[in-house]
């Protein structure tokens, strides 16, 4: 059945539906003499409710992503609509929820979004649903995952959650149109490394160059995704409570990293004069123990969240991520400040293995004209390396449901900093979003 047929069935078979339509046009202006378009994508999210009653709820969500850039790689594709106008159809949430299976327990089965943690934007304890890094300006997006999720609230101030995810789903990376990545080294780079190795052994530079030129070099990528077998099931649970003015929770998760760990393996055989390079990429099995809290103290919102990750593999070392933050509104100005000891999601999406660092980020917002106009200035600083990113935004809401954004992003990254790969990605963007 085609996409059109599926949409017709959902529209006429659903009891209700709502939609979220958005498009954004980005222009990269760091080099004015060669300004280029880097991001121009239109997205439509349609959510349908086939059945809803006192005991039963359901939802089916379809997301359509259309790129404005042709995906042509050959003249033979000029007759292919999918290459001229690339469109992807993604399945969003698709679940059935049963209320009060036993008193106080709700059971949800299917493809769903489940978020844990209290922190704003970045949640170290939330590991059930894979991150969606496809939009470089949205740092907290997640893709729904197939799972069984139970929530039990026997009393008002105490709750339990249990979840099992049988199929592993990795993070979705940023499009190559916005950020061009190269995973494997080139033959020239490996040969230069071979020359440097010979020189370190005491061989004269000219002789080292001659010897390296005689080597045969092979480059391979060994990439594996956890198989759909029972032992690879991811699962977890957490307990929640409310004490005084604090919301508290603690939990445990057993699963996999959402981005692969890259391990280069180089084998040099002097007898056959061969250099074999293999980039081994694996999704590491881990166990995450986490806790969080949130409260409102004297009209100041505060939160803290921490997660300790233990790996089955001896490499890398176990990791401790934590974030603390607060927000407050004074004289109509909303301020949000957070401190993260961990891996920043935008940098993580590009480099795949960013180390744990310290970041300070936040934003100031002010609304005008009956909340129809918003000015926002946000930013992030890599404290140890001194690199930073700035994200100003102006949002206008001319009518209910319609948002028009004008903004930009500027990154500055020194050598070895998390934002070094984005240093030349300074951009202006114009976005339109409509929800109904």
Q: Is the pLDDT of residue 174 over 90?
A: no
Considering only CA atoms, which of 350, 361, 354 is closest in space to residue 421?
A: 350
Helices (H), 280-363: 345-351
Residue with tokens 């080099």: 31
Rounded-to-integer distance, Cα 240 and Cα 73, Å: 52
22-29 mean pLDDT: 88
Residue 132: the pLDDT is 94
Considering only CA atoms, which of 403, 385, 384, 387 is closest in space to residue 395?
A: 403
Rounded-to-integer distance, Cα 273 and Cα 269, Å: 6
Q: In what order do the strands lie in the sheet with 274-282?
A: 216-223, 274-282, 261-269
Secondary structure of residue 355 in the 3-state scheme: coil
Q: What are the CA-CA distances from residue 165 to residues 98, 149, 212, 239, 253 (Å)? A: 18, 9, 49, 18, 11
392-402 mean pLDDT: 97
Pull the structure tokens for residue 296: 């409102």
Q: Is the pLDDT of residue 237 over 60?
A: yes
Cβ atoms of 427 and 408 closer than 8 Å: yes
pLDDT tens-place string over residues 70-103: 988 899 999 999 899 999 999 999 999 999 999 9
Rounded-to-integer distance, Cα 419 and Cα 344, Å: 9
Highest-confidence segment of 40-44, 52-56, 142-146: 142-146
CB neighbour list of residue 119: distance below 8 Å, 6 or more residues apart: 292, 303, 304, 305, 323, 325, 338
Considering only CA atoms, which of 91, 90, 64, 149 is closest in space to residue 115?
A: 149
Residue with tokens 């890599």: 382
Question: Residue 11 — very low, low, confident or very high, per pLDDT cuts 50/70/90?
Answer: low
Rounded-to-integer distance, Cα 324 and Cα 346, Å: 19
pLDDT tens-place string over residues 209-229: 999 999 999 999 999 999 999
254-280 mean pLDDT: 94
The whole-chain average pLDDT of the chain stands at 90
Q: Is the pLDDT of residue 417 over 80?
A: no
Q: Is the pLDDT of residue 385 over 50?
A: yes
CB neighbour list of residue 235: distance below 8 Å, 6 or more residues apart: 162, 163, 164, 165, 253, 254, 255
Q: DSSP character for 299? A: T
Pull the structure tokens for residue 100: 């009060």
Cβ atoms of 306 and 262 closer than 8 Å: no
Residue 6: the pLDDT is 57
Helix and strand element counts for the chain (H, E): 5, 21
Residue 352: the pLDDT is 44
Cβ atoms of 249 and 292 closer than 8 Å: yes
Q: Is the pLDDT of residue 7 over 50?
A: yes
Q: Is the pLDDT of residue 34 over 80?
A: no
Which burial class, exposed, middle or buried, applies to 9 when counting CB atoms under 10 A from its CB (0-12, 13-18, 19+)?
middle
């Amino acid at each position: 059945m085609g996409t059109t047929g599926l949409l017709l069935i959902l529209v006429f078979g659903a009891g209700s539906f709502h939609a979220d339509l958005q498009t954004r046009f980005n222009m990269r202006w760091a080099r004015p003499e060669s300004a280029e378009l880097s991001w121009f994508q239109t997205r439509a999210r349609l959510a349908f409710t086939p059945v809803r009653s006192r005991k039963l709820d359901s939802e089916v969500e379809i997301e359509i992503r259309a790129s404005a850039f042709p995906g042509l790689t050959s003249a033979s594709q000029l007759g292919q609509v999918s290459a001229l106008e690339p469109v992807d159809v993604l399945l969003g949430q698709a679940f059935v929820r049963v209320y009060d299976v036993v008193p106080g327990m709700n059971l949800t089965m299917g493809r769903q979004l489940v978020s844990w943690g209290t922190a704003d934007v970045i949640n170290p304890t939330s590991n059930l649903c894979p991150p969606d890094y496809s939009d470089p300006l949205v740092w907290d997006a997640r893709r729904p995952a197939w799972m069984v999720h139970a929530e039990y609230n026997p009393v008002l101030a105490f709750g339990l959650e249990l979840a099992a995810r049988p199929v592993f789903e990795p993070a979705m990376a940023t499009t190559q149109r916005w950020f061009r990545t190269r995973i494997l080294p080139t033959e020239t780079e490996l040969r230069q490394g071979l020359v440097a190795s010979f020189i370190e052994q005491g061989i004269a530079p000219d002789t080292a160059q001659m010897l390296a030129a005689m080597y045969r070099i092979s480059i391979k990528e060994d990439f594996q995704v956890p198989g759909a077998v029972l032992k690879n099931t991811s699962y977890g649970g957490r307990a929640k409570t409310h004490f005084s003015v604090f919301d508290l929770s603690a939990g445990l998760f057993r699963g996999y990293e959402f981005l692969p760990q890259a391990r280069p393996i180089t084998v040099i055989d002097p007898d056959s004069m061969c250099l074999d390079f293999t980039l081994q990429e694996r999704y590491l099995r881990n166990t995450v123990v986490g806790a969080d809290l949130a409260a409102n103290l004297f009209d100041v919102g505060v939160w803290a969240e921490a997660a300790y990750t233990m790996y089955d593999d001896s490499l890398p070392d176990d990791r401790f991520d934590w974030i603390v933050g607060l927000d407050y509104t004074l004289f109509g100005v909303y301020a949000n400040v957070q401190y993260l000891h961990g891996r920043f999601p935008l940098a993580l999406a590009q480099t795949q293995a960013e180390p744990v660092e310290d970041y300070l980020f936040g934003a100031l917002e002010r609304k005008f004209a009956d909340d129809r106009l918003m000015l926002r200035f946000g930013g992030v600083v890599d404290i140890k390396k001194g690199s930073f990113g700035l994200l100003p935004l102006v949002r206008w809401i001319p009518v209910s449901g319609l948002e028009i954004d004008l903004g930009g992003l500027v990154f500055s990254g020194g050598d070895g900093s998390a934002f070094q790969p984005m240093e030349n990605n300074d951009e202006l963007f114009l976005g339109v979003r409509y929800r109904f």
